[in-house]
Copies of this chain bind each other. A is one copy, B any other.
Amino acid sequence: MQNKPFSPARPVYLISAGSVSGSKEKRGPLGDLFDFSGDDRFGKDTWEKAESEMQRLALGIALRKAELIDSEIDLLFAGDLVNQCLPSAFGLAGYRIPYLGLFGACSTCAEGLLLGALTAGTCARRTAAVTSSHFCTAERQFRMPLEYGGQRPPTAQWTATGAGAFLLSALPRDALRCGGGFVPRITEVMPGCTVDRGITDVCNMGAAMAPAAADTVSRYAASGGSLADAVIVTGDLGAEGSGIFIDLLRAEGIDVGKRHLDCGLALYDPETEDIHAGASGCGCSALVMAASVLRDIREGETGDVLFVGTGALTNAMASCQGQSIPGVAHLVRIHPVPRDQIREDGGI
């Protein structure tokens, strides 16, 4: 059982998503796809409060799109990168939904979708998964004050400013209210193991996370999970991590090069933004998944997606204590179901 993916006990659909981005992300190639973009402060007097506001807005947008209110959601999974995940706690406190806090670093989006799918597949009917990151909260907490002007090596990534909220439902009538010719359905999930290859460079998160991503995909394939006809969308390996990821899998005889996309390489235009190895952060994969990938699924522009959210488990003190940086990566398989195959009397 441990090395097999889990399937929700009944069909679980991703019925809506809300995406709220900062200004840099708005300027990027996906800028027109975000539901809302702000000036990075979102009317608040601190960066942490701004990040909370993004989460609040993102979940509100997702609810509105699904024509639901908070009392109709049974469970809410959320987390972020800030110490004790406070942006999530404060940003979502106004929604009266049972709240389960997560910490998976940048893999939180996948972790929330994974747990949201497993619980909506059984005990709950509708669940929500929300996550965010903010460049300024991350820089302050993990690295240096912005005014310091610290130099970033080529392997460094840029923490995205953005929040994504996802609603999952086991009710076919919810699925039938979605737009588009296809409805995204989570068919399998594979939680990842922590993998530590001894990377200690805090400016090379891609290298820290790639082994975990490769490990999860490898375990999925070994369990019989199909990689054919699916595109693998990693969270934020960036340029450095993506190359390592592909190499590690190739060494096991798994060639994913032509079927791999990375959210960290999709968020910004490298021609106009100096973001070195790409975007990172919980918000990176959340924005790309919410605004772009799910849209492509709904419009029938892609087949199955294997979303592999990647996280680096570290904090500002760990490197001072000589610790390396473990990674973790969770896999969520999303399948486009033609709308006309969903029966309203199916399910619960």
Contact = CB atoms under 8 A, between A and B. Distances in A.
Interface string A311-326: 0011111100101001
A88 to B, nearest CB: 8
B98 A323 contact: no
Interface in A88-142: 89-90, 92-93, 96-105, 111, 114-115, 118-119, 121-125
Q: Is the interface of A mostly helix, strand, loop or mixed?
A: loop
B193 A96 contact: yes
B191 A99 contact: yes
Question: Which of A75, A105, A122: most chain B Cβ within 10 A?
Answer: A122
Nearest to A216: B98
Interface stretch (A2-10, A226-234, A292-300): A2-10
B1 A124 contact: yes
A102 B77 CA distance: 10
A192 interface: yes
**Most chain B CB within a 10 A radius of its CB, from A100, A103, A121:** A103
A122 B122 contact: yes
Interface of A: 1-2, 6-9, 46, 48-49, 71-75, 79, 81-86, 89-90, 92-93, 96-105, 111, 114-115, 118-119, 121-125, 190-194, 196, 313-318, 321, 323, 326, 328, 330
23 contacts: A2-B72, A2-B97, A9-B122, A49-B321, A75-B191, A79-B103, A81-B84, A83-B83, A83-B84, A83-B317, A84-B105, A85-B313, A86-B323, A89-B326, A89-B328, A90-B313, A98-B193, A99-B191, A99-B193, A100-B191, A101-B313, A102-B103, A118-B122
